[in-house]
A and B are shown apart, each in its own frame.
Chain A
Amino acid sequence: MTTLIKGARVLGGEPADLLLEDGRIAAVGRRLSVTGADVVDADGLVALPGLVDLHTHLREPGREDAETVETGSRAAALGGYTAVHAMANTDPVADTAGVVEQVWRLGRQAGLVDVVPVGAVTVGLRGERLAELGAMADSAARVRVFSDDGHCVADPALMRRALEYVKALDGVVAQHAEEPRLTVGAQMNEGDRSARLGLTGWPAAAEEAVIARDVLLAQHVGARLHVCHVSTAGSVEILRWAKSRGVQVTAEVTPHHLLLTEALAESYDPVFKVNPPLRTDEDVQALRQGLADGTVDAVATDHAPHAVEDKESEWAQARPGMLGLEQALPVVVEALVETGLLDWAGVADRMSVRPAAIGRLDGHGRPVAPGEPANLLLLDPAARAAVDPAALASRSRNSPYAGRELPGRVVATFLRGEATVLDGKAVR
């Protein structure tokens, strides 16, 4: 299968033609012409390497009413992704080779993105003893990222052992940093607003304390640590300090923490309830700055689909989490590109190159250059559209961006040379 992309601006550079052949980028140049190729007009479009998400909840097995591997894969492709890490908090939990292989196979069957399972750190996410990390690493799913996401590995001794153990697997522990004793019943960021709204506060210190502890542990045992969904200015400071000391720590920030603030909780509409919670504008600015200067390595969606009944309720009863895959790139364009904090190469680095490196994905996060795997997306940076949750490919509707106009439209996505999205629509 051969595709010729005409006039794409690779990383925002000068227009060039891209020839995709046998799953690879065969050539990049001016006025390429090939007979029998599918031609895609990319005039005015920016070409970026296919995005890689370190943090996706696909809900299968267990909550197929909220999302399946297939619907989540489609949402990912539409968002410009070619690989997503599927979090382990399914039912049953992905804490054995059997479950991670099931998720991996479902991903292959859907064939829209590479679905890379994340393995649980502890059995049942209970934080009591290690799951069989080696078996998951050795399985067909080749697990390299381990996380109890949704729960913090709060026990410091257990966290230390997990960090040590995954060294043998070339793995990384992705920590959901939340000191559970400081967040009992927590509903939103603790501060002026939580005081007034009467919603139990989630203090920034509950995140920062765990990150501080874990970077010290990672340094002590010489292991790799990844911090999920960093949400506070203080966390960025701690990461900056740790990196300056040579700690092998990486971190991600979600699109929603780059754009939205706790002010949205005023509506008591639980579509804005998420864990960690939306924070203050000061935090948003610090997170953008941290992402721009590389202290925060990656944007990860924490795409968290929820059924209508789990959100159409009282705030306290609602499940935390929001959709992200289909709007992540537009949010980054608005928050980082249009503000001048990142150029297109920077976007590619934070949304593809670095997350692929953290997840040890060989075929992703590669340059858009001859000989490389043809995983890439075409973005129309000039397009602007209001988000309509009903039009999303996800099976759920809990988008915090409903009605909000965002810049940038993913026109096409290619996975190993094959189009998964064309003209802004999923090919299947």
Chain B
Amino acid sequence: MKRHLLEAADLDRADATLVLDTAAQIDQALAGREVKKLPTLRGRTVVNLFYEDSTRTRISFELAAKRLSADVINFSAKGSSVSKGESLKDTALTLEAMGSDAIVVRHSASGAPHRLANWVRGSVVNAGDGTHEHPTQALLDAYTIRRRLGRLDGVRVAVVGDVLHSRVARSNVWLLTTLGAEVTLVAPPTLLPVGVGAWPVEVSYDLDAVLPKADAVMMLRVQAERMNASFFPSAREYSRRYGLDARRMAALGDDAIVMHPGPMNRGMEIAADVADSVRSTIVEQVGNGVSVRMAVLYLLLGGAPA
């Protein structure tokens, strides 16, 4: 593994497989244990540096670090020196001076983790940057697909929704194709980036045409406010054309799964009965997230302390 995890596009097949295999080993090691904790990162310090509210991702990383016995500091940009105008660089140098070994960063600006990696000696883990990438989400999605379907090679994954603004979609495009899956992006043209044609994926505007062939359907969160900028006419029209309801779910193959990175807009991109169905892996994804993030932290920090 490299020193940082900045983007899924960086991971080659061997690295990505190593993360998934490590997550599987961690799951095995902890299965049935009363104390769900490994001593691997004792004495190491992981900082969760969050410039955006994201309770679920922050908690997932916090749990992952704690289960590896690392010391964890949660640094929320709100109500801190950052809200008084401290720069990302000064914050990073301050945290490092306090002895952090890894910084897990969530930021609204694409590329912020890359900037951070230039300024600190420790590891940087991208926990979501702007509309760029969210690599651990893609890793946990890949892990979930592999567990459910037994493989990734040749698996057909439909990623549906606001691809334009989605870091989850970008990370999944790179990671899943690296791992041999076939990705189809489904969205209205307004929610696909200009330049999507250069990605190693299929693109479709028609969800109904894609569903029968999909082994996994990944629904992306769509903000209803996007209609104010004319990305689509109304929430209702979006839902009718691109939402996954029970009728559409019936078009899926027998073993196909339904995924969502959360948080969901029930009734918008996904109907409640779909989210709660047996096909849904949504809760499982959350649990897998902790294992995958443990694997990432272990692989980045697992060596002897620097």
Contact = CB atoms under 8 A, between A and B. Distances in A.
Contact of A203 (B107, B129, B194, B199): B194
Which of A196, A201, A269 has most B Cβ within 10 Å? A196
Interface of B: 9, 87-89, 107-112, 114-115, 129-133, 167, 170, 193-199
Which of A197, A201, A315 has most B Cβ within 10 Å? A197
A346 interface: no
B114 A198 contact: no
Contact of A192 (B9, B109, B195): B195
A155 interface: no
Interface in A256-272: 267-269
Interface stretch (A13-21, A58-66, A158-166, A306-314): A306-314
Contacts of A316: 108-110, 130
Contact of A198 (B131, B197, B198): B131
Given A267-B114, A314-B111, A316-B130, A196 B194 contact: no
Contacts of B129: 198
Contact of B130 (A192, A195, A198, A201): A198
B193 A314 contact: no
Contact of B87 (A190, A195, A201, A309): A309
A313 B132 contact: no
Which of B89, B111, B114, B193 has most A Cβ within 10 Å? B111
A8 B115 CA distance: 47
A193 interface: yes
A362 to B, nearest CB: 47
A44 interface: no
Contacts of A200: 131
B111 A199 contact: yes
A268 B110 contact: yes
A191 interface: yes
A197 B195 CA distance: 11
Q: Please provide the 4 A-B residue pairs with the shortest distance between their CB atoms, ordered closest to farther.
A: A268-B111, A198-B132, A195-B195, A314-B109
A317 interface: yes
A182 to B, nearest CB: 12
Given A312-B87, A316-B130, A194 B114 contact: no
Contacts of B133: 198
Interface in A99-114: none
Interface residues of A, number: 24
Nearest to B112: A314
Given A268-B111, A268-B114, A194 B88 contact: no
B195 A193 contact: yes
A197 B110 contact: yes
Nearest to B133: A198
Interface in A181-215: 187, 190-201, 203
A317 B82 CA distance: 14
Contacts of B115: 268-269, 313-315
A151 B108 CA distance: 25
Contacts of A193: 195
Contact of B88 (A192, A197, A269, A314): A314
Interface in A107-165: none
A196 B9 contact: yes
Contacts of A314: 88, 107, 109, 111-112, 115
Nearest to B195: A195
A191 B195 contact: yes
A200 B229 CA distance: 15
A306 to B, nearest CB: 14
B109 A201 contact: no
B196 A195 contact: yes
B92 to A, nearest CB: 11
A196 B109 contact: no
Given A312-B89, A313-B87, A195 B198 contact: yes
A199 B197 CA distance: 17
Contacts of B167: 198
A198 B195 contact: no
Contacts of B198: 192, 195-196
Nearest to A191: B195
Contacts of B197: 192
A315 B194 contact: no
A203 B194 CA distance: 9
Contacts of A191: 194-195
B303 to A, nearest CB: 27
A269 B198 CA distance: 23
A229 B108 CA distance: 30
Nearest to A267: B114
A267 B89 CA distance: 16
B194 A198 contact: no
A193 B115 CA distance: 18
Which of A187, A192, A200, A314 has most B Cβ within 10 Å? A314
Given A268-B114, A314-B112, A316-B109, A195 B199 contact: yes
A313 B88 contact: yes
20 contacts: A190-B195, A192-B195, A192-B198, A194-B193, A195-B198, A195-B199, A196-B199, A197-B110, A197-B132, A198-B110, A198-B133, A198-B167, A198-B170, A199-B130, A199-B131, A268-B114, A268-B115, A269-B115, A313-B115, A315-B115
B110 A199 contact: yes
Nearest to B108: A316
Given A191-B195, A193-B195, 17 more contacts: A187-B110, A195-B195, A196-B9, A198-B129, A198-B133, A198-B170, A199-B111, A199-B130, A200-B131, A201-B195, A313-B89, A314-B88, A314-B107, A315-B109, A315-B110, A316-B110, A316-B130
A317 B193 CA distance: 22
A316 B131 CA distance: 11
Given A309-B87, A312-B89, A314-B88, A195 B193 contact: yes
B139 to A, nearest CB: 18
A194 B193 CA distance: 8
Contacts of A309: 87
A316 B196 CA distance: 22
Nearest to B130: A198
Contacts of B196: 195
Contact of B195 (A187, A194, A312, A317): A194
A200 B130 CA distance: 10
